Amino acid sequence: MGPMDTAVTLRQIADGRTDLVVPLLEAGGLAACTAVDGLPLLRWCAHHGDVSALRLLLARGAALADLGPNLDLIGAVFHGHFALVQWCLEQGADPSWRDPVTGETPLLSALCKANRPVYGRIVAALLARGADVHATTVVGAPLDSFMRDVRGLGETALHRAAAYADEATIAALLAAGASREACDVAGQTPLSWASRHLRPDAILRLLCFGPHAIHPQRRGTYDHGAGWTHGETIG
């Protein structure tokens, strides 16, 4: 493999062809020093969630520290790489590590996308390792977990789960000690977030506390003078 071929292969790996790590190393590529756009090859393989390529590179001399702070567990979580999340935790990554600028933790990063079942599995894996359910984002800090111009509101994982997660994930957070009454910078609870995001009754019920409740629905005939007649309470 000539120099030009090596450069092309490195670019392909960075673009997602992490399977090409094998022929690269067989041709004499050095796992410890090869890089694309200033990032070690190890980081690119982690970006694409390829644990097998990571293992191979580490066996050939790459340094685990090249993955970055806390083995970049927060990145593995954000991209939804379940196997990589488990591997990072097995290597000693801290499930409660906080970004020094945003305050975000792996758990918070797992709760910023909707309708993605893999994140429920990731939350369960983090909670099993003792992830801090009470950590909050830094108020006003620009967040990396969302696409455009979103800033921290001092929210907890349960706030985000209330907006984006399913019932099982919310129940798991509550079982781990998350507080229904935790307030963000505006004094809003997870129930507030769920209400703003028009979540279904089943989720709202999980988050109700104190005076807040889901009012029973009525089925029957409504008369403006007499109210509900011939009806029954449901819900």
Q: Could you tell me which of 17, 71, 23, 82 has the C-alpha nearest to residue 49?
A: 82
Does the CA dihedral 97-103-105-109 come out positive or negative?
negative
Question: What residue type is 19 in one-letter code?
Answer: D
The string of pLDDT tens digits covering residues 149-186 is 899 999 999 999 999 999 999 999 999 999 999 999 99
Q: What pLDDT does residue 32 have?
A: 67
pTM: 0.85
- Tally of residues, the chain: 235
User: Model confidence at 227, in pLDDT bands (50, 70, 90)?
Assistant: very low
Quote the Cα angle for 227-231-235, to 5°. 105
Cβ contacts of residue 38 below 8 Å, gap of 6+?
none
Q: CA-to-CA distance for 6 and 11, rounded, in angstroms? A: 9
**pLDDT number for residue 37:** 87
Domains located in the chain, CATH noted = 1-67 (no CATH), 68-234 (1.25.40.20)
Residue 233 burial class via C-beta count within 10 angstroms: exposed 0-12, middle 13-18, buried 19 and up = exposed
- What confidence tens digit (pLDDT) does each residue in 31-86 have? 766 778 888 999 999 999 999 999 999 999 899 999 999 999 999 999 999 999 99
| Pair 71, 88: CB distance under 8 Å | yes
Mean pLDDT over 135-146 rounds to: 94
Element (H, E) at 52: helix 51-59
| Residue 168 φ/ψ, nearest 5 degrees | -60, -40
For residues 85 and 79, the answer to whether their CB atoms sit within 8 Å is: no
Q: What pLDDT is attached to residue 218?
A: 47
pLDDT score of 230 more than 90: no
Model confidence band, residue 4 (pLDDT cutoffs 50, 70, 90): very low
